[in-house]
Structure 1
Amino acid sequence: MNSNKSTNDDNLIKFSSIIADKTNNGFVVLERNDKLPFAVLLKKKKKVDHVLNFCIFCVTLGLWSIAWIYITQVSSKAKKILIAIDEDGNPFEEKCYMG
């Protein structure tokens, strides 16, 4: 019984450290449950400076277009993720549908 309590405490510490790392990277906790343990985190959409990207595009003679498309389509979008600990004590992360 005592080892089960220490395992749960270790899992909670691991879970809290993962959430702390994600919040340091810009995520915000939307929902958290320490009993199950799971949390839903959100990273807000970044604004893309298209004027600056166009200037870089012109200077590099169009080579910057690949990076500009990536920045616009992928990295600037809002992200919502679920972080949880499964029955075996392993942390996992899944992307949530943004709808």
Structure 2
Amino acid sequence: MMKSQFINQEKLNQFTNTIANKVQNGFVIVERNDKMPFTVLVKEGKKVNHAFNFLICCATLGMWSLPWLYLSQVSAKSKKILVAIDEDGYIFEENCYMG
């Protein structure tokens, strides 16, 4: 049996502030449901200038290859997260897999 609990105003304000902070950090709201409540946010990846990074890699005799690899594989990917309030009233964030 699922316990039903009303979400108090304080938790709802924390939820709204969490989403506002994510939006300030570059995320965009793609889906929002105030009844559940949950929000799905997406942040586009950074564009990597490979020509510039290649020049830096050559100038540092290949030492820049690891940061360049990190930029290419991690920073360039879009991030999608879910922010929600669970049935116990706790706010949580979860990474969503991009399809």
Matched positions, count? 95
Q: Which residue of the partner structure matches residue 41 of structure 1?
A: 41
Moved beyond 4 Å, runs of 4+: none
Report the alpha carbon displacement of residue 36 of structure 1 after superposing the two structures with TM: 1.4
Report the alpha carbon displacement of residue 88 of structure 1 after superposing the two structures with TM: 2.1
Contact 1:45 1:76 (8 Å CA) reproduced: yes
Contact 1:12 1:34 (8 Å CA) reproduced: no
CA distance, structure 2, for counterparts of residue 59 and residue 27 of structure 1: 35
Residues 51-70 of structure 1 mapped to structure 2, 5 A cutoff? 51-70=51-70
Over the matched positions of the two proteins, sequence identity in percent amounts to 59
State the secondary structure of the residue aligned to 1:92: strand
Map Cα deviations across residues 35-85 of structure 1 (whole Å, 9 max, x no partner): 211000011132111111112111211111001001101111011111101
State the secondary structure of the residue aligned to 2:48: coil
State the secondary structure of the residue aligned to 1:40: strand
Contact 1:46 1:77 (8 Å CA) reproduced: yes
The one-letter amino acid paired with 1:37 is P
Flag structure 1 segments of 5+ consecutive residues without an equivalent. Answer: none
Q: Which residue of the partner structure matches residue 30 of structure 2?
A: 30
CA distance, structure 1, for counterparts of residue 47 and residue 75 of structure 2: 10
State the secondary structure of the residue aligned to 1:74: helix
Flag structure 2 segments of 5+ consecutive residues without an equivalent. Answer: none
CA distance, structure 1, for counterparts of residue 86 and residue 47 of structure 2: 35
Q: CA RMSD in A?
A: 1.5
CA distance, structure 2, for counterparts of residue 49 and residue 41 of structure 1: 26
**2:8 matches 1:8:** yes
